[in-house]
């Protein structure tokens, strides 16, 4: 496993980040323990979660994934200081008017809840899950800054921010001398590029933010399990996901799959491994967030770590999925 600095910070994170949105939703707690064990055995040190995971599943109240991680941390032999634990705040966590958002109250309430569930003293990376247009950015950043000074949070980051809001946050931190976002979690993969590449990529490059893409396999589409002209397999997200249904109707998406399959065949690699290799070959990408319901799925994903696309191969894939500026 290789490691990279998170943006311009000195924090080193593994080249793959283990996500946890699926735990308590599509995978039970015992699977989470096995996957985390296999991940750290391979050298992984970066685990991402959110307070809301998985509130939408089976009436869960939220905090399920954090709770699983907390219990696993108490069981594992890996020292706490060898792991980088990231979580997020913003989502609705109750029925009250202050039970969501990026207000000072909600942030301070939720950080305590996350620390309890994770059973840790400090969150390594605390992230705004998406921006809150109803709260002044300085209020959010002052709350985060206070948590850093209190030692409850080491670094702060954001997810799903538009470029203008990210720039506003960076400028506010600089002007007021507050902790600044060290990283961005964008929705980014081979067939979903414009959202990040249009403006956010340049912001991250110029200001030295770490880039931690989520959905690097396009919700499973870039595993090659979907076939052109055929209905999505039963039990897959393609059955009810509008986004994946959109991919199923797009010629370029299947052209990308075909090319990934061809590149992988020459290396003995799967479509999913080659799709991850497209991200890992990009020097701007810090650590894609992957999800695995089983150890077998993690083992396949890990096979992407030893793949490096040539400049020509990456350009070919870029050309296949280019977007109009």
Position 194 in a domain: no
Residue 209 lies in a domain: no
Name the residue among 253, 256, 259, 255 with its Cα closest to residue 238: 253
In a domain, 32, yes or no: yes
- The stretch 147-176 carries a mean pLDDT of 98
Number of domains composing the chain: 1
The per-residue pLDDT for range 181-194, each reduced to its tens digit, is 999 999 999 999 99
Weakest mean pLDDT among 100-109, 239-248, 289-298: 239-248
In a domain, 229, yes or no: no
- Annotated active-site positions, please? 53
Average pLDDT of the chain is 94
Domain contains 133: yes
DSSP of 74-132: HH-SS-GGG-EEEEEE-S--SSSTTSSSS-HHHHHHHHHHHHHHHT-S-EEEEEESS--
Q: What is the mean pLDDT of residues 55-69?
A: 84
Look at residue 225 and tell me if it is in a domain.
Answer: no
- The full 3-state SS of 250-314, as one line of letters, equals CHHHHHHHHHHHHHHHHHCCCHHHHHHHHHHCCCCECCCEECCCCHHHHHHHHCCCCCCCCHHHH
150: domain CATH number?
3.20.20.100
Residue 56 structural domain: 3-185
Dump pLDDT digits (tens) for 235-267.
Answer: 677 666 788 878 887 888 999 999 999 999 999
Q: Is 263 part of any domain?
A: no
Query: What are 267's two structure tokens?
Result: 């290396």
User: What is the arithmetic mean of pLDDT over 157-173?
Assistant: 98
Instruction: Quote the pTM value.
Output: 0.95
Q: For residue range 89-104, what is the model confidence (pLDDT) as tens digits?
A: 999 999 999 999 999 9
pLDDT digits (tens, 9 = 90+) for 186-219: 999 999 999 999 999 999 999 999 999 999 999 9
Q: What is the mean pLDDT of the segment spanning 119-133?
A: 97
Model pLDDT, residue 174: 98
Q: Is residue 219 part of a domain?
A: no
Of the listed ranges 60-69, 110-119, 233-242, the one predicted with least confidence? 233-242
């Amino acid at each position: 496993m290789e490691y990279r600095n998170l943006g311009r910070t000195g924090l080193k994170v593994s080249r793959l980040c283990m996500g946890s949105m699926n735990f308590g939703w599509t995978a039970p707690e015992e699977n989470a323990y096995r996957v985390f064990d296999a991940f750290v055995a391979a050298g992984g040190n970066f685990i991402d979660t959110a307070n809301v995971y998985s509130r939408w599943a089976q009436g869960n109240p939220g905090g399920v994934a954090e709770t699983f991680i907390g219990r696993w941390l108490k069981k594992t032999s890996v020292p706490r200081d060898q792991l980088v634990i990231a979580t997020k705040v913003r989502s609705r966590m109750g029925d009250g008017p202050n039970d969501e958002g990026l207000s000072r109250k909600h942030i301070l309430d939720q950080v305590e809840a996350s620390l309890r569930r994770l059973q840790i003293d400090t969150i390594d990376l605390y992230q705004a899950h998406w921006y809150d247009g109803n709260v002044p950015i300085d209020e959010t950043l002052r709350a985060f800054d206070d948590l850093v000074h209190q030692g409850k949070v080491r670094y702060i980051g954001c997810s799903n921010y538009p470029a203008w809001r990210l720039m506003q946050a960076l400028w506010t931190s600089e002007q007021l001398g507050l902790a600044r976002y060290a990283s961005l979690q964008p929705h980014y993969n081979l067939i979903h590029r414009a959202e990040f590449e249009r403006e956010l990529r340049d912001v991250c490059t110029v200001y030295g933010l770490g880039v931690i893409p989520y959905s690097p396999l396009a919700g499973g589409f870039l595993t090659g399990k979907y076939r052109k002209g055929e209905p999505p397999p039963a039990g897959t997200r393609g059955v009810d996901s509008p986004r994946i249904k959109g991919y199923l109707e797009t010629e370029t998406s299947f052209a990308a799959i075909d090319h990934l399959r061809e590149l992988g065949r020459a290396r003995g690699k799967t479509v999913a491994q080659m799709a991850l290799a497209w991200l890992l070959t990009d020097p701007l990408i810090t650590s894609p967030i992957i999800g695995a319901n089983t150890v077998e799925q993690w083992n396949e994903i890990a096979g992407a770590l030893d793949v490096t696309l040539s400049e020509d191969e990456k350009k070919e894939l870029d050309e296949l999925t280019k977007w109009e500026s």
